[in-house]
Amino acid sequence: MFCYQCEETAKGEACTKGGVCGKSNEVADLQDQLIYILKGLAAVNQKARDTVPENPGLKTRLINALKRNQQAKEGEPEDYIDSGFMEEALFSTVTNVNFSATDFKNWIQDAYDKREQLKSELQAHGVGLNDLPQAASVKPAELGDIDSVSILATENEDIRSLRELLVYGLKGMAAYAYHARVLGHKDKDIAAFVDRALVATLDDSLSVDDLTGLVLECGSFGVKTMAMLDEANTATYGHPEPTEINIGTGNNPGILISGHDLKDMDQLLKQTEGTGVDVYTHGEMLPANAYPEFKKYEHLVGNYGGSWWQQKTEFEKFNGPVLMTTNCLVPPGDSYSNRVFTTAMVGFKGLKHIEEKEDGTKDFSEIIEMAKQSRPPEQLENGAIPAGFAHNAALSVADKIVDAVKAGQISRFIVMAGCDGRQHDREYYTEFAKQLPQDAVILTAGCAKYRYNKLDLGDIGGIPRILDAGQCNDSYSLVVIAQKLAEAFELDDINDLPVSYNIAWYEQKAVLVLLALLSLGVKNIVLGPRLPAFVSPNVLNVLVENFNISKNTTVENDLERLL
Ligand code: FSO
Ligand code: SF4
């Protein structure tokens, strides 16, 4: 096992004997094998893409093959590559999504089956496959013996660093693309980029410069993917509205829903209506409370608890069942594991998994029945927290914001987006928020917000000092807001705005968000609480020289340099 893809990696270097996250050696190795075989599948996908334009008959043949195998769940006739599978498989390897060896063995087998089937369709059409990489011919049983499956097989540490940075960005991209896809939004260019970039990580002829270019391109596609997800979410559930979200509890039994999948949220709310069971959000599902389509349900009571890493104590106290729609799942304690349900890519041995039915719906009746037998949640706190300041809401008060800046009432915006984590030193973010001057406004998205979203920081002329745009993918909203502010102030360069970036990262979606910001030319980002272990000193130098990125230091020092 060698894994260093997240911020909590052991000793800030790598997990080599079981993951800090709870991932086993076996699962870590299976994830590496899955990524390797996906690279081979990507090479075959690319081959099909290169060949189809000269071979219209092949396109029809591939579409029919996909339809026959029902591989393209929401397939439109022009789809001839199963990009949905690629996204799901990449997403499954994101930190804290899936801990089940059985699930990874199944994904590996599926990747192999899909790859072989696509190859035989291409061959039947006379397409030569001799130039494909080894990853496109390996069998699942051989994966354990192939050196190049291991991250460490790439000896040059800068090339290794850039390859992994790219793969982690792609994992984040796949997760967001998956959420958009389940709502019927997809983009062939994004899918083609994922394949192209995966194949590039197998290409020994690519230089540090080539790979750096691809990493930045990954950021550009990240912006595109987050925009697509924003469109999918808002077109389906409306634009988030400024909302005071209740953090107390009611007297009914409840279901707690966590993760990022709004479609699961939608189905759960519909199925629980009129049952006497309330619904509460946890972690990254908090922003769902601000969507008009969800706000209309009275039994959506509010948010329970804090960010992902607090789930061990909070799930225990919730008393009712919990539905994990995505990461971050923490290996559950015995006292409540019988109440935790997983769905989609989330998996953990022994936890009940809710599968999607053929018509794309999910049946949550077992969870609802369990809730009916449960005690109401134990109250953790009371009051309300403001949320729902995604781009539509924020821009509806843009004039007010611009006036406040011009009048000197707002001196600076601090983007504090990203993730939370369990380590003690993340209290830095609470302290930083507390010590900001009264005329500074925090723009946030992602679970990083839990380090300060319950502080009473007040408002500036009616504008809350914490503007919460939503989930980590809603960092896109922060980009839109910054771009509109630049227009309002007639600035050509986004870096001339009174906006500073103090970003907390944890897993690979945050890697994509970071690359997205870099691709837009955002400079002077402060990143913490640790720099990624997978960024080599030379790659870090490139990031410093081009973007002046730096690690956070002390609250006092960072306040001084960011204000
Ligand atoms: Fe957090 Fe976990 Fe949203 Fe991540 S709950 S850490 S970046 O999965 O995805 O912000
Ligand atoms: Fe370690 Fe993070 Fe990898 Fe888990 S995901 S094994 S904590 S580096």
Q: What is the pLDDT of residues 424-471, one digit of tens each?
A: 999 999 999 999 999 999 999 999 999 999 999 999 999 999 999 999
Sign of the alpha-carbon torsion through 169, 170, 171, 172: positive
Cα 55 to averaged position of ligand 1 atoms, centre (Å): 42
Q: Are 89 and 38 a contacting pair, CB within 8 Å?
A: yes
> Counting ligands in written order, which one lies closest to the CA of residue 172?
1
pLDDT in tens, 113-168: 999 999 999 999 999 999 999 999 999 999 999 999 999 999 999 999 999 999 99
Strand partners, 303: 281
Q: Which of 108, 219, 98, 87 has the alpha carbon at shortest distance from 511?
A: 219
Name the residue of 2, 4, 6 to mutate for ligand 2: max ligand atoms within 8 A of Cβ.
6
pLDDT in tens, 293-305: 999 999 999 999 9
Please identify, by atom number, the ligand 2 atom nearest to the C-alpha of residue 19. Answer: 6
> Counting ligands in written order, which one lies closest to the CA of residue 29?
2
Q: Are 99 and 27 a contacting pair, CB within 8 Å?
A: yes
Side chain identity, residue 403:
D
Cα 192 to averaged position of ligand 1 atoms, centre (Å): 25
pLDDT in tens, 502-536: 999 999 999 999 999 999 999 999 999 999 999 99
Residue identifier of the C-alpha nearest atom 2 of ligand 1: 328
Instruction: State in Å, rounded, how far the first CA of the chain is from the last one.
Output: 42
Q: CB burial class (10 A; 0-12, 13-18, 19+) of residue 234?
A: middle
> Counting ligands in written order, which one lies closest to the CA of residue 176?
1
Q: What are phi and psi of 518, to 5 degrees?
A: -65, -40
Number of other residues whose CB lies within 10 A of the CB of residue 271: 19
165 CB-side CA count, 13 A: 29
Angle at 327 between CA 323 and CA 332, to 5 degrees: 60
Helix (H) or strand (E) run with residue 57 in it: helix 56-68
Residue identifier of the C-alpha nearest atom 3 of ligand 2: 3
| Minimum mean pLDDT range among 45-54, 242-251, 332-341 | 45-54
Mean residue pLDDT of the chain comes to 96
Structure-token pair, residue 309: 């890493």
Please identify, by atom number, the ligand 2 atom nearest to the C-alpha of residue 9. Answer: 8
Helix (H) or strand (E) run with residue 386 in it: strand 384-387
Strand partners, 256: 280, 322
Residues 6+ apart with CB under 8 A from 281: 256, 257, 258, 265, 288, 289, 300, 302, 303, 304
Residues 6+ apart with CB under 8 A from 71: 82, 84, 85, 114
Q: CB burial class (10 A; 0-12, 13-18, 19+) of residue 317?
A: middle
Angle at 336 between CA 334 and CA 341, to 5 degrees: 110
Residue identifier of the C-alpha nearest atom 5 of ligand 2: 95
Q: Are 146 and 134 a contacting pair, CB within 8 Å?
A: yes
- Residues flanking ligand 2, CB < 6 Å: 3-6, 8-9, 15, 19-21, 23, 28, 95
159 C-beta closer than 6 A to ligand 1: no
Please identify, by atom number, the ligand 2 atom nearest to the C-alpha of residue 1. Answer: 6
Cα 327 to averaged position of ligand 1 atoms, centre (Å): 7
Number of other residues whose CB lies within 10 A of the CB of residue 117: 18
**Structural domains of the chain sorted by starting position, each given as residue range(s) with its CATH number in brackets:** 10-236 (1.20.1270.20), 252-372 (3.40.50.2030), 388-562 (3.40.50.2030)
Angle at 233 between CA 520 and CA 256, to 5 degrees: 115
Mean pLDDT of all residues in 8-19? 98
330 C-beta closer than 6 A to ligand 1: no
Q: Which of 280, 279, 282, 287 has the alpha carbon at shortest distance from 312?
A: 282
Name the residue of 308, 345, 416 to mutate for ligand 1: max ligand atoms within 8 A of Cβ.
308
pLDDT in tens, 33-47: 999 999 999 999 999
Measured CA to CA, the distance from residue 98 to residue 202 in angstroms comes to 25
Say whether 415 sits in a helix, a strand or coil: strand
507 C-beta closer than 6 A to ligand 1: yes
Cα 3 to averaged position of ligand 2 atoms, centre (Å): 6
> Counting ligands in written order, which one lies closest to the CA of residue 418?
1
Asked if residue 389 has pLDDT above 50, the reply is yes
Work out the pLDDT band at 358, boundaries 50, 70, 90.
confident
284 C-beta closer than 6 A to ligand 1: yes
Work out the pLDDT band at 392, boundaries 50, 70, 90.
very high
Side chain identity, residue 196:
R
Which residues carry a binding-site annotation? 3, 6, 15, 21, 260, 284, 328, 419, 447, 472, 507, 509
Look at the block and give the residue holding tokens 């190859």: 119
Strand partners, 257: 281, 323
Buried b (16+ CB within 10 A) or exposed e, 177-188: bbbbbbbebbbe
